Structure 1
Amino acid sequence: MRLGIDIGGTKTAAVAIGADGELSDQVRMPTGFGAEAVVATALRTVERMGQLAGLHAASFTSIGIGIPGAVDSATGRVEHAVNLGLDGLDLGRRLSDRLGIDVRVENDVKAAALGAHHLLGARAGAVDGAGRPGATSMAYLNLGTGLAAGVVLGGRLLRGGHGIAGEIGHIPIDPAGVMCGCGQRGCLETVASGLAIARTWPTDSEHPARELFDAADAGDARALEVREEFFAGVATAVRLLVLTVDVDAVVIGGGLAALGEPLVVGTRRILNRWAAESAFLASTDLATRVQVVPPGFPAAAVGAALVGEHPWLKSSS
């Protein structure tokens, strides 16, 4: 049984995957802040999952961790996970020493890409005896506070030469746009992310994106304009991913994926409009490639479980 843990800024989620590819019960708990608290959270999660599965930690076939920040997947070291209070932590080594089993660590978006890929394979019935999906190529478009992507090609996670493959949120698309937190101007993240919605649709609501969509559905002119700009930004991300790596599917995940079908419909509408104006884009069938992660599917935790296996650690470049 493979164990996957998704360590987020406020909560940690875990799931185990059996030999048949089926998911076990899930565990959720608060995430501690700071290096020692993050390690303690991971250890408590492993202990709790072991209790549910009736296993000692060392009896799991593999353990994988998905976590924000810059991750060296070869060493398990995490850097710049600001929301977790981590400036540098040898998380993989620390956990391996305590648990007596190799623990592999991956960036959370890249882990979620593997989880979404697993889901696609399961839906298509293309899962082998070890629960691994077939070679469908896929990009996972993470729409949360920011924007990033993870790409799986030929069953392998694309990391690139320096581990930053998929950081499309920091590709400038508008030289006259607003400044991005990365120091560039007009990045894709400034038009298609939770931060972008918060800037263009100021509100005291705990769910500004949902309020924006509701206001647009009610006919509010400003809301319609802001939502259309957001759809165009998401469509731009889809176009960029497909034209760069020609993936079979672009699966939208992250916090904004909770917008569900309206997000997919709006994005497809923009893509179809562009296709009507370009025979080349029409030939790529961009709109048909867009999907959204089902509500409640723990993509990052599932992907983390797969990261724990040596075959998934191999990268494309």
Structure 2
Amino acid sequence: MRVGLDVGGTKTDAVAVSSSGEIVGRVRLVTGWGSDAVVSTVLGAVAALEREAGIARGAISSIGVGIPGQIEPGSSRVLHAVNLGVAALDLAAAVEPQLGVPVRVENDVKAAALGAAALRTHTLNGTSSMAFLNLGTGVAAGIVAGGELWRGARGTAGEVGHISIDPNGPECRCGQRGCIEALAGGAAVAERWGRPGALPVRDVFDAADAGDARAIALRAGIAHGIAAAVRVLVLTADVDAVVLGGGLTALGERLADEVGRELRSRAAASAFMRSLRIEERFELLPAGSPAAALGAAIVGATRDPEGVLAHG
């Protein structure tokens, strides 16, 4: 039995995966704030999974954790996970002694890319490829090619959020202007919208539907940024599909329609771009998908964290 945990800024999703790849148990719980609380969350998630799915501790062979922030290469040390209140934490060293099971750690977006690829095995084969574009507080992607996670020379493959697509656009937290993340990242949109609400991006779409001019402009910027990220991933990595996931995809077809419209509009003047049929190469991750936790379970089960296979 393999266990995978997706430790998010507000909740942690945990799954138990059988040797055949079937998800046989799943629990969700609130993520704590700060290093000590994150450790407690991981331990609590494993205990809850054992209890609610009836899994004995001895039946668990590995645990993988997907978590925001940078993962120090070749280690389980998490750095700069600001949305969790974690500056530096060796997660495996903190939880392995109590769990008694090997623990591996991966960046959450890369883990989600592996999980999304595994869920799409009916379209993936030895030569197929996929990018997972995470649309949450920020914007980033993970790329899986030939069933294997592609990290790039320095581990930054897929970091499309800080590509500037409009030098006169809104200022990004990275210091540039007009970054994809500044246009389509949840935090940036909420800041520019400036109105209280539990789901600012949904509020923007609702207000745009009602004819609010400012909301219409923000919605157009969101679609422009996401469409640009999809184009970048297709044009640079030539992936077969770009799967959109993350909090913004809770908007469902409302979001997909805007992105598709933007892609078609940008391709209208270019026969080359039309030939790529990019608007047919993106899709939304189904709501409630366990992709990130499943990907973490795949990470946990591999012996070589630098060469993780989506097929487990």
TM over 0.5: yes
How far the C-alpha of 1:71 sits from its partner, in A, is: 0.8
Partner in structure 2 of residue 130 of structure 1: none
Q: Is the 8 A contact 1:58 1:99 kept in 2?
A: no
* SS in structure 1 of the partner of residue 25 of structure 2: coil
Partner in structure 2 of residue 220 of structure 1: 212
1:189 aligns to 2:155 (yes or no): no
- Greater shift, 88-97 or 100-109, is seen at 88-97
Change beyond 3 A, Cα 1:135–1:307 = farther
- Greater shift, 181-190 or 101-110, is seen at 181-190
CA distance in 2, matches of 1:195, 1:205: 12
How far the C-alpha of 1:143 sits from its partner, in A, is: 0.7
CA distance in 2, matches of 1:288, 1:35: 42
Q: Is the 8 A contact 1:142 1:149 kept in 2?
A: yes
How far the C-alpha of 1:125 sits from its partner, in A, is: 7.1
What code does the residue aligned with 1:76 have?
Answer: S
Partner in structure 2 of residue 79 of structure 1: 79
* SS in structure 2 of the partner of residue 138 of structure 1: strand
Partner in structure 1 of residue 276 of structure 2: 284
CA distance in 2, matches of 1:296, 1:240: 27
Q: Is the 8 A contact 1:11 1:28 kept in 2?
A: yes
Aligned residues: 308
- Greater shift, 108-117 or 224-233, is seen at 224-233
Change beyond 3 A, Cα 1:257–1:301 = same
Partner in structure 2 of residue 294 of structure 1: 286
Partner in structure 1 of residue 305 of structure 2: 313
Partner in structure 1 of residue 49 of structure 2: 49
User: TM-score normalised to the size of structure 1?
Assistant: 0.90
Q: Is the 8 A contact 1:144 1:256 kept in 2?
A: yes
* SS in structure 1 of the partner of residue 3 of structure 2: strand
CA distance in 2, matches of 1:53, 1:259: 31
* SS in structure 2 of the partner of residue 281 of structure 1: helix
Partner in structure 2 of residue 254 of structure 1: 246
What code does the residue aligned with 2:77 have?
Answer: R
User: TM-score normalised to the size of structure 2?
Assistant: 0.92
1:138 aligns to 2:130 (yes or no): yes
Partner in structure 1 of residue 120 of structure 2: 120
User: Which residues of structure 2 form unaligned runs of 5+?
Assistant: none
1:240 aligns to 2:203 (yes or no): no
- Greater shift, 78-87 or 178-187, is seen at 178-187
Partner in structure 1 of residue 40 of structure 2: 40
What code does the residue aligned with 1:78 have?
Answer: V
Percent identity over the alignment is 53
Partner in structure 2 of residue 149 of structure 1: 141
Q: Is the 8 A contact 2:242 2:282 kept in 1?
A: yes
* SS in structure 2 of the partner of residue 238 of structure 1: helix
Partner in structure 1 of residue 98 of structure 2: 98
* SS in structure 2 of the partner of residue 39 of structure 1: helix
How far the C-alpha of 1:311 sits from its partner, in A, is: 6.4
What code does the residue aligned with 1:253 have?
Answer: G
Q: Is the 8 A contact 2:61 2:102 kept in 1?
A: no
User: Which residues of structure 1 form unaligned runs of 5+?
Assistant: 127-132
CA distance in 2, matches of 1:117, 1:73: 22
How far the C-alpha of 1:247 sits from its partner, in A, is: 0.6
* SS in structure 2 of the partner of residue 9 of structure 1: coil
How far the C-alpha of 1:163 sits from its partner, in A, is: 2.0
Q: What stretches of structure 1 move > 6 A for 4+ residues in a row?
A: none
Q: Is the 8 A contact 2:17 2:25 kept in 1?
A: no
